[in-house]
């Protein structure tokens, strides 16, 4: 097979391989999109795609989350279509055999778009497919994000292009959504970039606490696994609060700041499913810990969990928590564990319980990603030591419990109640966008 050069992409003598017409399924989609058409059909369909994109400000998609879900929402579709788009994307190319599952996904996508099997619908779905693997690869740092494209040479031979092909194509088939793809990739990195300086991350346990923290000026919000579990009458670190954690994530992503979620050790089961679900919701990051009860996970097994999170959701900031100091066990393995997790893709390392200045400085020097600790020392000291993130953990939740009891006791005893408490109206307004 001849290798395709970048220059050929702009040569009209090299059209895309033709596809036959069809009445349903993946074959129908291929036959109706700009991607696999030429001449007047291509011009008309590309104009349709450009009109759709013109209604979406690239700034509006500069946010965390699965690119397909982010773009779908901007186009007025439910974020949940992302899973069907992923099924379809796996066999979108004409040289790949379409599966029955993908055909069924096309039918559901058509229904989500209004139920009309027309060219406009096909290109709307095609736009989401184009945002699927390519933008995901762009976020993951794969170069180029579209590894292969095909054309038909004047002699009828199929010409295939590999790594030399321009990132966003060229000529008449150049990607019309380049600005949007770059914006989505940038949005997925916004939370990562906060760690380039110094981030104080408060941890919420419900929507109101998260919204109040945003109103107070915090630029990102995390969750506290103790707060989420205890608020629902469940034990922390027992892997039983998955449903409650995901529900809270679903509400917190309404906030205008990145949200990172404490997922304990992954809640068991296939952590790829959890990672994909959170990324589809628009979550920016996760904390995943290697503590297991009073002991620690095997570092190789924990590294596999970290890797799974990154592979399933490359845009997530995966903060690998090392519980050696928190649990007071096997502290000598702290740095080797941290490096093992970094080697498989961890974006940051969290070592709760690390409180001595010399230990913190040693960890900063030994770990090539941002170090996260709890506020055991003054914030300015931690910053000077090279710490990039300070999380409040369960502190705010525990402080709220203490203040709740103190206020109730004041009412019972007839003592003055604390001042500075938000009014009913102020609290109610936290739920207003």
The DSSP secondary structure of 378-396, one letter per residue, reads -HHHHHHHT--EEE-TTHH
Cα–Cα dist 109/105, whole Å: 6
DSSP helix/strand/coil, 371 = strand
Cα–Cα dist 70/245, whole Å: 21
Give the model's pLDDT for residue 16.
85
Cα–Cα dist 7/386, whole Å: 48
Which parts of 90-241 fold into alpha helices (H)? 100-112, 119-130, 133-140, 178-194, 207-215, 225-231
CB 287 within 8 A of CB 321: yes
Cα–Cα dist 131/65, whole Å: 12
The candidate with the shortest Cα–Cα distance to 191, out of 257, 125, 288, 246, is 257
This prediction has a pTM of 0.92
Give the model's pLDDT for residue 157.
81
Give the model's pLDDT for residue 383.
98
Beta strand pairing status for 158-161 and 2-3? parallel
- Provide the b/e sequence for 339-354 (b: ≥16 CB within 10 Å): bbbbebbbbbbbbbbb
Instruction: Provide the residue-wise pLDDT of the chain in tens; the chain has 433 residues.
Output: 445 566 777 777 788 888 999 999 999 999 999 999 999 999 999 999 999 999 999 999 999 999 999 999 999 999 999 999 999 999 999 989 999 999 999 999 999 999 999 999 999 999 999 889 889 888 988 766 666 677 888 888 877 765 445 667 778 888 899 999 999 999 999 999 999 999 999 999 999 999 999 999 999 999 999 999 999 999 999 999 999 999 999 999 999 999 999 999 999 989 999 999 999 999 999 999 999 999 999 999 999 999 999 999 999 999 999 999 999 999 999 999 999 999 999 999 999 999 999 999 999 999 999 999 999 999 999 999 999 999 999 999 999 999 999 999 999 999 999 999 999 999 999 998 6
Length of the chain: 433
CB 294 within 8 A of CB 320: no
Provide the CA 211 distance to its chain's centre, in angstroms. Answer: 20
Which parts of 195-270 fold into alpha helices (H)? 207-215, 225-231, 242-252
DSSP helix/strand/coil, 201 = strand
What single DSSP character describes residue 260? E
Exposed, middle or buried, 173 (CB in 10 Å: 0-12/13-18/19+)? buried
CB 241 within 8 A of CB 260: no
How many secondary structure helices (H) and strands (E) does the chain include? 19, 14
Residues 6+ apart with CB under 8 A from 423: none
The candidate with the shortest Cα–Cα distance to 187, out of 53, 319, 345, 315, is 315
Beta strand pairing status for 285-289 and 259-262? parallel
CB 150 within 8 A of CB 95: yes
Phi, psi of 115 (to 5 degrees): 90, 5
Phi, psi of 136 (to 5 degrees): -60, -45
The DSSP secondary structure of 287-330, one letter per residue, reads EEE-EETTEE--HHHHHHHHHHHHHH-TTSEEEEE--HHHHTS-
């Amino acid at each position: 097979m001849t290798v395709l050069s970048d220059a050929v992409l702009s040569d009209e003598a090299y059209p895309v391989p033709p596809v036959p017409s069809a009445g349903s399924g993946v074959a129908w989609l291929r036959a109706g999109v700009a991607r696999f058409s030429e001449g007047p059909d291509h011009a008309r369909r590309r104009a349709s795609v450009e009109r759709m994109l013109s209604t979406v400000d690239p700034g509006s998609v500069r946010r965390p989350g699965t690119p397909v879900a982010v773009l779908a929402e901007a186009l007025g579709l439910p974020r949940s279509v992302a899973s069907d788009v992923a099924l379809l994307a796996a066999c979108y190319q004409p040289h790949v055999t379409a599966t029955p599952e993908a055909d069924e996904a096309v039918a559901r996508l058509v229904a989500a778009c209004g139920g009309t099997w027309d060219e406009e619908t096909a290109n709307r779905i095609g736009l989401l497919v184009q945002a699927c693997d390519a933008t995901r690869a762009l976020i993951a740092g794969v170069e180029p994000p579209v590894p292969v494209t095909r054309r038909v040479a004047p002699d009828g031979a199929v010409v295939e292009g590999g790594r030399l092909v321009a990132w966003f194509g060229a000529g008449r088939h150049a990607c019309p959504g380049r600005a949007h793809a770059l914006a989505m990739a940038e949005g997925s990195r916004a939370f990562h970039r906060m760690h380039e300086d110094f981030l104080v991350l408060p941890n919420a346990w419900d929507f109101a606490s998260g919204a109040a923290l945003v109103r107070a000026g915090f630029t990102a919000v995390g969750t506290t696994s103790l707060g989420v579990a205890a608020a629902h009458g469940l034990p922390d670190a027992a892997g039983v609060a998955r449903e409650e954690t995901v529900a809270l994530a679903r509400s917190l992503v309404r906030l205008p700041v990145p949200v990172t979620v404490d997922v304990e050790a992954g809640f068991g089961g296939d952590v790829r499913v959890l990672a994909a679900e959170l990324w589809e919701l628009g979550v920016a990051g996760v904390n995943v810990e290697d503590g297991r009860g009073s002991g620690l996970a095997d570092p190789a097994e924990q590294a596999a969990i970290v890797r799974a999170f990154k592979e399933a959701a490359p845009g997530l900031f995966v903060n690998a928590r090392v519980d050696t100091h928190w649990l007071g066990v096997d502290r000598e393995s702290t740095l080797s564990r941290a490096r093992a997790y970094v080697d498989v893709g961890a974006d940051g390392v969290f070592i709760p319980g690390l409180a001595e200045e010399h230990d913190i400085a040693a960890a900063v020097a030994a770990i090539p990603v941002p170090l996260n600790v709890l506020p055991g020392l003054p914030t300015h000291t931690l910053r000077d030591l090279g710490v990039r993130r300070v999380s409040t953990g369960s502190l705010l939740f525990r402080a709220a419990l203490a203040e709740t009891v103190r206020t109730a006791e004041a009412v019972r005893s007839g003592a003055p109640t604390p001042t500075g408490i938000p009014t009913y109206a102020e609290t109610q307004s936290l739920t207003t966008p």
